[in-house]
Structure 1
Amino acid sequence: MTHSRRLFLLGSAAGLAAVSLVSAATAQEHTLRVHTLVQSPHPYNDMAAAFKEQVEEESDGRIAVEVFDSGQLGQDPAVIGEMGFGTIDMMISTTSNAVQNVPEYAIFTMPYLFEGMDDVLAKVGPGTALHDHFQAVYDERGVGLHLLALGASGTRNMSTADTIVEGPGDLSGLKMRTPPSPMDAETWSAFGMLPVTVAWGELYAAMQTGVADAMESSLPGYSGSKLYEVAPNLALTAHTFQVNHTSISQRTWDKLPDDLKTVVEEAAISANEYGVEQSKMYDEELVETLQSENGVTVTRPDPAAFIEVLSPIQVQLAEDLDLVEEYELVTQ
Structure 2
Amino acid sequence: MHITRRTALVLGASVASMVIASSAFAADYSLRIHTLVKSPHPYNDMALAIKDEVEAKSEGRIAVKIFDSGQLGQDPAVIGEMAFGTIDMMISTTSNAVQQIPEFGIFTMPYLFESMDSELEIVGPGSAVHAHFEDIYAERGIGMKLLALGASGARNMSTADVVVTGPEDLNGLKMRTPPSPMDSQTWSAFGMLPVTVAWGELYAAMQTGVAEAMESSLPGYTGSKLYEVAPNLTLTQHTLQVNHTSMSEVSWNKLPEDLQTIVQDAAVSANAYGVEKAKEYDAALVETLASEYGVTVSYPDKAAFMEVVAPLQEKLAADLDLEAEYELLKK
Report the TM-score range of the alignment, normalised by the length of the smaller protein: over 0.9
Within 2, Cα distance between the matches of 1:171 and 1:8? 78
2:304 alignment partner in structure 1: 305
Give the deviation of 1:9 after TM superposition.
5.2
Correspondence for 1:225: 224
Distance 1:210 1:15 in 2: 61
TM-score by length of 1: 0.96
The residue that corresponds to 2:17 in the other structure is 16
Q: Unaligned regions of 5+ residues in structure 1, if any? A: none
Give, in angstroms, the shift of residue 120 of structure 1. Answer: 1.0
Residue 177 of structure 1 corresponds to: 176
TM-score, normalising length: structure 2:
0.96
Question: Which residue identity lines up with residue 301 of structure 1 in the other structure?
Answer: P
**Aligned mates of 1:158, 1:67 — CA distance in 2:** 29
In the TM superposition, what is the alpha-carbon distance from 1:23 to its structure 2 partner? 1.1
Q: What do you get for the CA RMSD once the two structures are aligned?
A: 1.6
Give the aligned partner of residue 254 of structure 1. Answer: 253
Query: SS state of the match for residue 151, structure 1?
Result: strand
Q: Distance in 2 between matches of 1:297 and 1:6?
A: 71
Cα shift readout 1:240-275 (whole Å, capped 9, x = no counterpart): 001000000011001110000011011111111111
Once the two structures are TM-superposed, the CA of residue 50 in structure 1 deviates from its matched residue by 1.0
Q: 1:20: how far off?
A: 1.0
Deviation at 1:19, TM superposition (A): 3.9
Please give the secondary structure, in 2, of the residue aligned with 1:248.
strand
1:75 aligned partner: 74
Q: Percent identity?
A: 69
Summarize the Cα distance change of 1:5–1:144 in structure 2 as closer, same or farther, 3 Å threshold.
Answer: same
- After superposition, the Cα gap between the structure-2 partners of 1:68 and 1:15, relative to the gap in structure 1 and judged at 3 Å, is closer
The aligned residue for residue 42 of structure 2 is 43
SS in 1 for 2:284: helix
What secondary structure is seen at the aligned counterpart in 1 of 2:81? helix
Q: Does 1:267 align with 2:266?
A: yes
State the distance in 1 between where 2:172 and 2:8 align.
Answer: 84
Counterpart CA distance in 2 for 1:176 and 1:75 is: 20
* 1:254–1:230 distance in 2 versus 1, CA, 3 Å: same
Deviation at 1:21, TM superposition (A): 4.1
Name the SS for the 2:39 alignment partner.
Answer: coil
Separation (CA, whole Å) in 1 of partners of 2:208 and 2:7: 72
**Alignment partner of 2:172: what SS?**
coil
Distance 1:173 1:21 in 2: 63
SS of corresponding position for 2:175: strand
Show structure 1 runs of 4+ deviating over 2 A: 3-19
Deviates more, 1:11-20 or 1:156-165: 11-20
Number of equivalences? 328
- Extract unaligned runs of 5+ from structure 2: none
